[in-house]
Amino acid sequence: MYTTAVFLYTQRNIVVVLSGPSPRRFMPVYSKPLTLHKGVDNQLQFQFLNQEQKPVDVTGLEITFRALDQTGSVILFQQTLTPVFSATGIMQLNLDLSTLVPITAQQCFYTLSIPSQTGNAHYPVYVDAQAQARGDLYIVNSVLPSVVPSLSVTIPTVQGNPGPYPFTANDQPLWDASANIWFSSIITNDNNPILTLQMQYYQYTGNVVVLGSCTGNSDWAPVQAFSYANVTDTKGYVLEGFYPYVQIAFEANANNIANGFDTLSNIYAR
């Protein structure tokens, strides 16, 4: 038996408002990255200090939090902060889980803007010693997994004149070099370490080879190979390893692939 310690706390970041007549200059040394978790409600706290490291009274001020994409050209969402201890400059972002549902997990930025006491102007809030008004923000899928839809894989009917392809394993041909071989569309794997495939066969006789490539244009290498005889079933495959591009090659001895692909349907990758 052992115990795992867990922590429940609200992320709080010190930010600086250049207010008052003091010539002093105070800035946090670095900007602490903030994290928002998809699938749950989130809270982020900010304490507003001036250049003398004194709390700024934010009573009655409408301070806006904005999340920007990585290019800084798109506002992912924006929301007004909620006062927690206004007299000591502490305000909080209370973010409902629904806000992040349409937003893809990513590394992005956040900004804060604060109105002047008179309300006639808005000023940036600084997050580090370089007077940066933009901090790092991570939107992550750590609490709930992301939903990745399956990719429908096709076998293009127009492939010129598919012919023999020199697939080998340990210098031995994987199949008869005189056979016709047909190829699926190319699957872009985005360097995921695991790729799952599903193929539905109907009275299929032939060989199946899963190919991997680093470029997607050439240097295809066999990763997995299978042989079937009159199989009617749904087969699943797990491809482990970093293969940026994946393709499936079929040698149909029954020749049904060349005549409308009657023996294969519902090919999916995920």
The residue from 78, 110, 140 where one domain ends is 140
The tens digit of pLDDT for each residue in 42-72 reads 999 999 888 888 898 989 889 999 999 988 8
Nearest to residue 123, comparing CAs of 137, 133, 110? Answer: 133
- Are 75 and 102 in the same domain? yes
Residue 221: the pLDDT is 81
Query: Please, what sign has the CA dihedral across residues 239, 241, 245, 249?
Result: negative
In a domain? residue 16: yes
Domain CATH for 116: 2.60.40.10
The residue from 111, 140, 169 where one domain ends is 140
Q: Are strands 34-37 and 135-140 parallel, antiparallel or unpaired?
A: parallel
The residue from 89, 107, 140 where one domain ends is 140
Number of domains in the chain: 2
> pTM for the full model?
0.55
- Residue whose pair of structure tokens reads 């305000």 in the numeric block: 91
In a domain? residue 1: no
Rounded (5°) CA angle 28-116-17: 5
In a domain? residue 233: yes
Domain CATH for 235: 2.60.120
- What is the residue-averaged pLDDT of the chain? 78
- Are 67 and 162 in the same domain? no
Nearest to residue 11, comparing CAs of 56, 70, 65, 68? Answer: 65
- Are 103 and 157 in the same domain? no
Residue 267: the pLDDT is 82
In a domain? residue 6: no
Residues of the chain with pLDDT under 70: 20-24, 26-30, 117-120, 129, 144-148, 157-180, 190-192, 218, 252-265
Say how far apart CA 144 and CA 114 lie, in whole Å. Answer: 33
Residue 85: the pLDDT is 93
Nearest to residue 117, comparing CAs of 62, 53, 64, 48? Answer: 62
Q: Are 89 and 47 in contact (CB under 8 A)?
A: yes
Q: Chain-centre distance of CA 134, in angstroms?
A: 22
- Are 136 and 208 in the same domain? no
- Are 70 and 190 in the same domain? no
- Are 105 and 224 in the same domain? no
Residue 117: the pLDDT is 64
Q: Are 247 and 176 in contact (CB under 8 A)?
A: no
Q: Which domain holds residue 214?
A: 151-269
- Are 120 and 20 in the same domain? yes
